[in-house]
Chains A and B, each alone.
Chain A
Amino acid sequence: MAEKKQLDAKGLVKYFKDEFKTKIKKTTVKKRVVGLEKKESYFVWITIDKSIFKDVIKHLVEYQFPHLAVVSGNDLGKTIELIYHFSLDHGQKFKEISLNIKVEIPKSNPKIETICDYIPGALITEREKQEMLGVIVEGIPDSRRLFLPEDFPKGVYPWRKDGKGMEKVIKNLHEVKK
């Protein structure tokens, strides 16, 4: 880990592009400048194909063990987009890069591999994605619900926007008088 050369934001994008070629669908590097001293911070967004997802995580862990902040998700109609928010190079003053890896999975087969074998700290957020978005995380060590209670109806995923969301569960108090 330590002997490898440290990459900057653009280098990081190039590293993944060289490694995975066309399977990297889109990359964006966003720069923000703050303060009187005009220091720069970088946000890297990479959209990858589902087929290379596990391999990308493997490469990432081999390059440097990242900090996984959280996995967020969007319902994009036919697909579900998962975004893995990592941060790299922390521990070095003002050098950290935010790396956001996006992967789209079809709703007809909403499966994604677990990354708990590489990053054990991903368990909580993977459990949350299962119950909130109806994603199936393959190989997850603990597939119980996290926040939702045991008696929460099956097949309802609060973050969905396609009729499987909260519509059926919501009760307007003035309507039900309870």
Chain B
Amino acid sequence: MTEKTTYRLPIGPIHPALKEPVQFEFEIDGERIVDVDVSLGHVHRSIEWAGTRRNPIQNLYLAERICGICSYCHPVAFSLAVENALDIQVPDRGEYLRVIQGELERMCSHMLWAGVAAHEVGFDTVLYLTWQMREKLLDLTEYLTGNRVTKAITMIGGVRRDITKDMVPKIQETLDYFKENFEKIRHTYLDDKTFKMRCQGVGVLTYDDAIKLCAVGPTTRASGVKKDVRVDQPYFAYSDLDIDYITPDILTGEIHGDVYDRIIQRLLEVKQAIDLMEQCLDKMPSGDIVAEPKPAKLLAMLKKAEGEGIGRHEAPRGEVIHYVKLVSGEENAYTWKVRAPTYNNILPWIPMLKGEQIADIPIVAASTDPCMSCTNRVAVVDRDNKYILNKEELHQMSVEKTRRLLK
């Protein structure tokens, strides 16, 4: 008898089955995955390093560009870290507005993920359906913040834009639309025979593994771990609201920790987000929205201040944590550490993928909703002419601009 040999199969960093640049190296035996190795860093942009060369207010906008989908979570976690370090008290109305923005982003992100998950199993019509629904949320985001993606809503000590009374009906209209259509989405994902066949029992992460590997967010909650920063530790206005842990057994009565449970988890969280936003609109007190409305004054204060703090926020993918150290007399932050949720959800991929088939890689990899952060080129759209700038051209423009400024 000859000994069975295994093969090594590299997938990524750029691969049609993966949303973002990450490289897997699989050891396979026939169709079965024996071992997995993950390598990262293909889109490392030295943001933490760059952040120590900018002042904290500039950092808000840099933090916003860490991720296109979590463009609210990062600046808000950074703000929380600074506020915790320096004991800045956010006005109550500011805290409620922060919850609304946070939950709106969660809905956007989960709907986006739902579409990607459908696409990964080959259900492109469902992708169009969910992303069409998500458009409503993006419209609402634009209405509330002035932009669809990079919202620039966060300020250290509060938020930058209020939600006035005349804006409430538009928010309610969008939420009602989702409530009406929730059943349709639920039916599409959870009752469909094909979805069940592809997702049930696939990519299982056990409760013990989730705890041991420090998984976060819907990935860990779908395995039954009650861990949700919003409920764990009071911050923003979450502690005023009626909120509880969500795990998939609320709907099905049992926990499997498979891909199907992660779908249920995110659908339930969309429902929870709607509820939390409605509660906020209901209970929101009047008053200031930001502790210090004058950025120059705030900056002068930050320059003198000294301290360190952590800011934690439950992003759509899980806990995001920022650590900031400020030194008195220095305008820029001394240290800035960003920990995005996917960072902790990398190791859990290994037990999820082991033993599965090659064809399951896309949906299992996507089921943690990984976010590697992308973008290394820029497309410029000019009504009739569309052209894409490559790295060299973009670079040339940048160099020319530097020269102009130096003159």
Chain A interface: which of B4-12, B133-141, B335-343, B378-386?
B335-343
In the bound assembly, the distance between CA atoms of A68 and B321 in angstroms comes to 11
Which residues of B, 215-253, contact A by the 8 Å Cβ criterion?
Answer: 215, 225-227, 229, 231-240, 244-245
Choice from A98, A100, A124 contacting B344 with Cβ under 8 Å: A124
Could you tell me the distance in whole angstroms from the C-beta of A117 to the nearest C-beta in chain B? 11
Pairwise interchain contact A173-B337, C-beta atoms closer than 8 A: no
The reply to whether the CB of A32 lies closer than 8 angstroms to some CB of chain B is yes
A61-102 vs B, Cβ < 8 Å mask (1 yes, 0 no)? 000010111101110000000010101011111111010100
Do B312 and A98 touch (CB < 8 A)?
A: yes
A34 touches B236 (CB 8 A): yes
Residue numbers in A under 8 Å from B235 (CB-CB): 32, 34, 41
Chain A proximity mask over B338-373: 1 for CB below 8 Å, otherwise 0: 010001101100000000000000000000000000
Shortest B286–chain A CB gap in Å is 12
- Which residues of B are found within 8 Å of A34, using beta-carbon distances? 90, 95, 234-237, 239
Q: Is the CB of B232 within 8 A of A95?
A: yes
Q: Assign chain B's interface to a size class.
A: 35 or more
- Chain B residues in 8 Å Cβ range of A95: 232
> In the bound complex, do residue A35 and residue B213 qualify as a contact, i.e. CB atoms below 8 Å apart?
no
Q: Mark B residues whose CB is within 8 Å of A.
A: 40-41, 44, 46, 48-49, 84, 87, 90, 92, 95, 211-215, 225-227, 229, 231-240, 244-245, 283, 285, 309-310, 312, 319, 321, 323, 325, 334-335, 337, 339, 343-344, 346-347, 395, 398-399, 402-403, 406
21 A-B contacts, Cβ less than 8 Å apart? Answer: A34-B235, A35-B92, A35-B238, A35-B240, A67-B227, A69-B312, A72-B323, A83-B323, A85-B321, A87-B233, A89-B232, A91-B226, A91-B227, A92-B232, A95-B232, A96-B229, A123-B347, A124-B346, A146-B40, A146-B41, A174-B402
